[in-house]
Amino acid sequence: MTRRLLTRALGLQAHEARPVLGGFALFFLLFCGYFMLRPVRETMGITGGVDNLHWLFTGTFVATVAAMPLFGWIASRVARRRILYWVYGFFAANLVLFALGLLRAPDHVWLARGFYVWLSVFNMIAISLAWSVLVDLFSAGEAKRLFPAVAAGASAGGLAGPLLGVALVGAIGHAGLLLLSAALLGGAGIAAWRVQRWRDAHPLATDAAHGRARPLGGNPFEGLVDVLRSPYMLGIALFVVLLASANTFLYIEQARLVEAAFPDKAAQTRVFGLIDATVQALAIVSQLFITGRIAQRLGIGVLLVGVPLLVGAGFAWLALAPSFGVFVAVMIVRRAGEYGFMRPGREMLWTAVTDSAKYKAKNFTDSVVYRAGDMASAWVKTGVDALSGTPALAMLVGAAVCVAWAANGHLLAKAQARREADGTPAA
């Protein structure tokens, strides 16, 4: 009875409830662990001074570039169905080491900066890899039905994580939260295994299940080469750069406004947590009941264009009224729109590429390209603020970025539809 109600409410086929629940659990556990630690990271970023945030973005980019050959090596030599377990196991071990470091030196400034950079790298690679697995397992048609409901697990985890962190940090401390996050990461790996087992039992007509049991081959830098030689994937890379630029402009403005409005660090952490909770609650509703129906009836173009235009309007509003209240409204719209609409639509683009590109090119784009956009836009934001003496000009630049972002999303949606109709993956 419960399963029938679930499938009817979410617009699923009867046999799709199991993979949706498995994918939901994968993202719930992954995001719960990440969002437990995110408010701490944001506070650590402010500790070093808002004026130095562009250096942290630069460090994050450098660390991401350094990490990609290692990921590429794993993807080239480990069976596709086991890549996630290797990478998540490595990250879980990192969390244990950071926990031990915090127990020995809880106030060490460079340990705090190192954790800020590490969590930023972990965020991009771990989340991108989870999506790579799902993109590899589902067809384009299944993705339109299933990805919004699956993505709701990320929002639910993003809602539970900050609340769990607030409830437990007093009892177990930051080191305890890191160890708990490592355990949740292990649970996410188990959930991914369950979805893979379902696909094995319900193979696609074009599915070569044995292919997932073999390594992808190639070399650690193949993701970069694939992106450079494919106009379609270059378009996705540009989309990610514009997305990252808009997000970074808002992120730095967030740090400035929160620092001015809430000098106390504990209050800063609470504000970040409340924003996260509000965003995730709104995203859950849209992902479960709205996004999938829009994607099926109107196409993913609506998902990839609508959010950039709304964010662009928010930038213009901030230029005219740069207050904390206006910023909170814009930030909630931006992040809820990204999690609820943008991310599922963005991941659907990758259903039209080769198996190798779903892991290598996608992870390169979601991590290195994204962090390059972060770094470049952070320096641009810092430079524009220094030259103008006011954040209003930077907000207008952000609005212009969003217009280009929306145009790019429109073109990508048309290209994806053509590839889906032709059945020809991007090389």
The confidence band for 113, taking pLDDT boundaries of 50, 70 and 90, is confident
pTM here is 0.70
Spatial contact of 49 and 382, defined as CB atoms under 8 Å apart: no
Q: Which two tokens stand for residue 368?
A: 């290195």
Is a pLDDT exceeding 80 seen at residue 126? yes
Q: Please report the pLDDT score of residue 211 as a whole number.
A: 57
Question: Using CB atoms within 10 A of its CB, is residue 311 exposed (0-12), middle (13-18) or buried (19+)?
Answer: buried
Spatial contact of 154 and 57, defined as CB atoms under 8 Å apart: no
pLDDT, tens digit (0-9, with 9 covering 90-100), for 401-421: 999 999 999 999 888 888 877
pLDDT, tens digit (0-9, with 9 covering 90-100), for 335-390: 777 776 777 778 888 878 887 888 888 888 988 898 888 888 888 888 888 888 77
Amino acid in the structure at residue 336: A
CA distances from 25 to 62, 170, 277 (A): 32, 27, 18
CATH assignment of 2-422?
A: 1.20.1250.20
Alpha helices in 299-391 (DSSP H): 301-320, 324-337, 343-348, 355-364, 370-388
pLDDT, tens digit (0-9, with 9 covering 90-100), for 214-271: 666 555 578 888 899 899 999 999 999 999 999 888 878 877 777 777 766 666 666 7
Residue among 76, 69, 162, 87 nearest 125 (CA): 87
Percentage of the chain lying above the pLDDT 70 cut: 81
Cβ atoms within 10 A of the Cβ of 262, count? 17
Residue among 47, 355, 380 nearest 207 (CA): 355
DSSP state of 215: B
Q: Please report the pLDDT score of residue 111 as a whole number.
A: 80
The confidence band for 2, taking pLDDT boundaries of 50, 70 and 90, is low
The secondary element (H helix, E strand) that includes residue 230 is none
Task: State the Cα–Cα distance between residues 11 and 281, nearest whole angstrom.
Answer: 21
The confidence band for 62, taking pLDDT boundaries of 50, 70 and 90, is confident
Q: Left (φ > 0), alpha (ψ -120 to 50) or beta: where does 326 sit?
A: alpha
User: Of the given ranges (98-102, 103-107, 152-156, 266-270), which has the lowest mean pLDDT?
Assistant: 266-270
- What ranges do the domains of the chain cover? 2-422
> Which residues is 353 bridged to in the sheet?
426
Residue among 78, 79, 88 nearest 189 (CA): 88
Bigger pLDDT: 58 or 376? 376
Spatial contact of 199 and 80, defined as CB atoms under 8 Å apart: no
Mean pLDDT of the chain: 80
Q: Please report the pLDDT score of residue 235 as a whole number.
A: 94
CA distances from 232 to 79, 227, 229, 349, 424 (A): 26, 8, 9, 9, 12
Q: Please report the pLDDT score of residue 402 as a whole number.
A: 94
The confidence band for 9, taking pLDDT boundaries of 50, 70 and 90, is low
CA distances from 189 to 41, 76, 79, 211, 276 (A): 24, 20, 15, 20, 24
Bigger pLDDT: 214 or 153? 153
The confidence band for 426, taking pLDDT boundaries of 50, 70 and 90, is low
Bigger pLDDT: 158 or 289? 158
Bigger pLDDT: 310 or 217? 310
Angle at 332 between CA 371 and CA 35, to 5 degrees: 60
Task: State the Cα–Cα distance between residues 401 and 136, nearest whole angstrom.
Answer: 31
Read off φ and ψ for residue 423, nearest 5 degrees.
Answer: 70, 25
